[in-house]
Amino acid sequence: MNLLAPAPVFAAAIALVWALVPASPGLTESAKGISAKQDPVELSRREKNIAQTLSPLPALPVQPSNRFADDPAAARLGQRFFYDSRLSKDGDRSCASCHSPGLGWSDGLALSEGIAVLNRNSPSLLHAGYQRWMFWDGRADSLWSQARWPLEHPSEMGFARADLVRLIANDALLRSEYEAIFGKLPEGAHDVDRFRPGGRPPFPRPSDQFNPAPSLEELAKLDAGHAAWLAMQKADRDAATRVVANFGKAIEAFERKLVPGPSPFDTYVEGLREDDPSKLAALSTSAQRGLKAFVGKAQCVNCHFSPLLSGGEFHNLGLEVAEGEAFDQGRPTGIRTVKIDPLNGRGKFSDAQEWQSNAKLRYLSYDEHTYGAYKAPSLRNAARSAPYMHDGRFASLEEVVRFYSALPGRPPVGHREETLLPLDLTEQEVLDLVAFLESLEGPPVAEALRRPIPSESSED
Amino acid sequence: MFARILLLFLPIALLPSCSGQADDSDPPIRVVMPDGGAPLNQIFRFEIDPQGYELTGVDADMPAHGHGINTTPEFELLENGRYRIDGMKLHMPGAWEIYFDLKAEDGSFFRMTYPLEIGFE
């Protein structure tokens, strides 16, 4: 039996509780979830139990494939890289361009804009260190492996790992910090004849008998960066890839610090555990009703569970695509890509060799149910990272909730997950769920992380 | 044939083994989950005692959701006659079914369904 299946008795109990809830200010109550009057909402034992599995946020998981993941010096270097617009083809873009601290570590756009407009919404970096898979299709299995995709993508930052080697070599501060952490840069790191301008390999691309991936030689005829890469010695190519992997490991160490403090919801759960009315009052009545719906009628918790408010896995929501508009397969492409990626957790640039740390790749597979599936994002601090969904189609959390209420349309590929049925929420229920989602926002991360490190600074 | 009928009821008899408390009297195979039961959304390892049957495949589904698992478990016959199954991940809370494809001594194949409920932690 599905725990969340609305058995008649359970449904009747919810209805009764709902009916007995003291009259709320209704639609006049702020959807922000702040209400002067805090009327406690009664949760069933089961609802309380589930709510308590959603908080507090535990310590970051270990990251075996990056032995520098929690190294403060690596985090500091990663912060330098993160805000450095020299790491882009035209010198005008950095990681922070699409992951801006002032915009929820996203960019506020439906579709991100690098050198060109992309086909994905920029995900927030908050809590990124808790994620199992990166990108909406999960094509990277670590933050360090993820980082070189936007760096080298011609539509994003348009940079190249061979240029990265020379840039670090020619910047005394970056070079000293890099070498103190990762060891010496490769011999000839300054040399444009060895680390050729624009030199970068093609991204890993799944290949099969119907769509064979082109060879490097074929791609080199079409792309000057690949031609430069082809012209480099294999040892120098390996050395440049080691540098871009280390770049990613520094970025990961920085991104693991992007964890906001406890949210009002976390305080509320403390109140549940301690039976403390003052802590329970951290959530407005509307947000409490929203929580009740979140773990009950609306079944949001089926995919958005655990303290991250996400299982980190992939689901087909049945998002429709207009006729003639482009779409992609989502997760299957991600799975096929991450398994062949030379920078994945099982490759030679990974710091993990033991079985357990690579189990997620070793056993990873896909079937027809993963088509059209995208990652369930964390809902913590989601209120700051609008718009929503992999293509940014919804401008607000309210639009997202209304989508789940009506579930219009059909997906262009695969099938909508079968437990997703229209919720037929009332207007009040929509606002309550939004109020709950907004209660998941903790205070911003430390100010020192929200800006570049002054280049002359040597502070810790 | 009698053994086949027993198999049909086996899943119910085996439910307590979710917490590792398998009952030795339950024929014909026994499922031994890790301490604390099968975890939510984590790759885990468990064992079965096949009672002479040959294990030929392992899979799992979430029938109400219309999807299965996103891993391909591997299994290995141990010296003590048990099979160790690695790589199972039940990635959502709710009702799951684990399927064991078995081969009998007479060469016939059949599938045993093992239902289990995965909680929120």
DSSP class per residue in A398-445 = HHHHHHHHH--S--SSS---TT-------HHHHHHHHHHHHTT--PPP
Asked if the C-beta of A354 comes within 8 angstroms of chain B's C-beta atoms, the answer is no
pLDDT band at A262 (very low <50, low <70, confident <90, very high): very high
pLDDT at residue A322 is higher than 60: yes
pLDDT at residue A148 is higher than 90: yes
Q: Select from A4, A311, A417 the Cβ nearest to the Cβ of B67.
A: A417
By C-alpha distance, the chain A residue nearest B66 is A418
- Other C-beta atoms closer than 10 Å to the C-beta of A446 total 12
> How many residues does the structure list for chain B?
121
- Other C-beta atoms closer than 10 Å to the C-beta of A408 total 11
Q: 3-state secondary structure string, chain B?
A: CHHHHHHHHHHHHHHHHHHCCCCCCCCCCEEECCCCCCCCCCCEEEEEECCCCEEEEEEEEECCCCEECCECCEEEECCCCCEEEEEECCCCCEEEEEEEEEECCCCCEEEEEEEEEECCC
CA angle (A57 as vertex; A53, A58 as ends), nearest 5? 100
Q: How high is the pLDDT of residue A235? A: 98
Q: How high is the pLDDT of residue A326? A: 80
pLDDT at residue B38 is higher than 90: yes
Q: Peptide bond before A277: cis, by omega within 30 degrees of 0?
A: no
Q: How high is the pLDDT of residue A457? A: 54
Please name which of A342, A257, A238 lies closest in space to residue A78, comparing C-alpha atoms. A257
Token pair belonging to B54:
């040959």
Rounded to two decimals, the pTM is 0.88
Q: Peptide bond before A212: cis, by omega within 30 degrees of 0?
A: no
Cα–Cα distance for residue pair A139/A338, rounded to 1 Å: 5
More confident residue, B71 or A2: B71
Average pLDDT value for residue range A446-454: 95
The H or E element that residue A359 is part of is helix A359-362
Mutate which: A45, A301, A369, vs B, most B CBs within 10 A: A369
B87 and A369 in contact by Cβ < 8 A? no
What angle in degrees, to the nearest 10, is found between the helix axes of A45-52 and A264-274?
Answer: 130
By C-alpha distance, the chain B residue nearest A365 is B71
A2 and B95 in contact by Cβ < 8 A? yes
Asked if the C-beta of A61 comes within 8 angstroms of chain B's C-beta atoms, the answer is no
What is the interface pTM, i.e. ipTM, of the complex?
A: 0.85
* A165-210 pLDDT, tens digit each: 999 999 999 999 999 999 999 999 999 999 999 999 999 999 888 8
Cα–Cα distance for residue pair A142/A107, rounded to 1 Å: 22
Partners of residue B73 in chain A, C-beta under 8 Å: 363
- Other C-beta atoms closer than 10 Å to the C-beta of A235 total 11
Average pLDDT value for residue range A231-258: 98
B66 and A418 in contact by Cβ < 8 A? yes
- Other C-beta atoms closer than 10 Å to the C-beta of A309 total 26
Cα–Cα distance for residue pair A132/A141, rounded to 1 Å: 7
Q: Name the DSSP letter for residue A394.
A: B
Please state, rounded to an integer, the average pLDDT across all residues of chain A: 90
CB A460 within 8 A of CB A289: no
A363 and B40 in contact by Cβ < 8 A? no
Partners of residue B72 in chain A, C-beta under 8 Å: 363-365
Token pair belonging to A203:
């991204």
pLDDT at residue A21 is higher than 50: no
B120 and A367 in contact by Cβ < 8 A? no
Token pair belonging to A352:
């993990």
Cα–Cα distance for residue pair B63/A372, rounded to 1 Å: 19
Token pair belonging to B46:
């468990």
